[in-house]
Amino acid sequence: MVNRLRQAFAGDSYAANAAAKQMSLHAMRRHPLAVAHLTWLTYRDYWRKPSEIRIALFEEQGSARSPPSSFLQELKARFGLDARRAHTVMTPSKRYHLAGGVWCYFLLISPLVCLLAVLMCHSASRSAAILMFMVSSALLLVTCAGSVESSYRFLHPFSFMGLIALAIVVDKMRERWWKEGRATLRGKRILHLLMNACHKDDR
């Protein structure tokens, strides 16, 4: 369809993009439920098995295919570099990228973590947490609604907000556990004092 649009506008990419934008807006106005369904399908497609995510990340980082032959020839001519097998080299950054497959699950639920932060944070910070939840939710919605396929590189913007929200939740849980632990310790001390007092009275 993209090639047909370009052909219809004699290869003018700007005119083809403008026409595609108008078509998308008309589709959203006429069939909003269908667009919502496609958005849900795109989000659901992100939830794959870890092995499948690794394969997708392997392809996204360019390790599954070599660069175009024209680019390889230009590298050879300008720099004397033979890069025909460069895509097969597993650099530390590529290994780090592949190891982050499980991290994608957290990015997918990061808006929910932001919502949990809204419910658990202090009242003074609630407005900021609500803003973070709204931004992350809108970003996820736009990512799934505006992309033609699920691509894990689109999820990277969620890292910052997700980590902040997770820090809020963990800090609040730690605070509750600390209070409960101190209350339990105080109760044990009181019980111990009462038991000692009872023993003294028996004597």
CB neighbours of residue 138 within 10 Å = 11
Token pair belonging to 22: 């108008």
At residue 184, the pLDDT reads 60
Tell if the pTM clears 0.75, that is, is over it: no
Residues 108, 157 contacting (CB under 8 angstroms): no
At residue 44, the pLDDT reads 93
At residue 46, the pLDDT reads 93
Each of the 203 residues of the chain gets a pLDDT tens digit; together they read 777 877 787 778 888 888 888 888 888 888 889 889 989 999 999 999 988 999 999 988 888 888 888 888 888 888 888 888 888 888 898 898 888 888 899 999 999 999 999 998 888 888 989 999 999 999 999 899 888 888 898 888 888 888 999 998 888 888 877 766 555 656 556 555 555 655 555 55
At residue 108, the pLDDT reads 92
Helix (H), strand (E), coil (C) string for 89-139: CCCHHHHHHHHCCCHHHHHHCHHHHHHHHHHHCCHHHHHHHHHHHHHHHHH
Please report, as a single letter, which amino acid is at residue 116.
L
Domain ranges of the chain: 61-101, 102-203
At residue 137, the pLDDT reads 92
User: CA–CA separation, 30 vs 11, rounded Å?
Assistant: 28
Alpha-helical (H) ranges within the chain are 2-8, 13-30, 32-46, 50-60, 69-79, 92-99, 103-108, 110-120, 126-146, 158-202
Question: What pLDDT, in 10s, does the model give residues 19-59?
Answer: 888 888 888 888 889 889 989 999 999 999 988 999 999 98
Residues 16, 5 contacting (CB under 8 angstroms): yes
At residue 118, the pLDDT reads 92
- Residues 6 or more apart from 45 whose CB is under 8 A from it? 149, 150
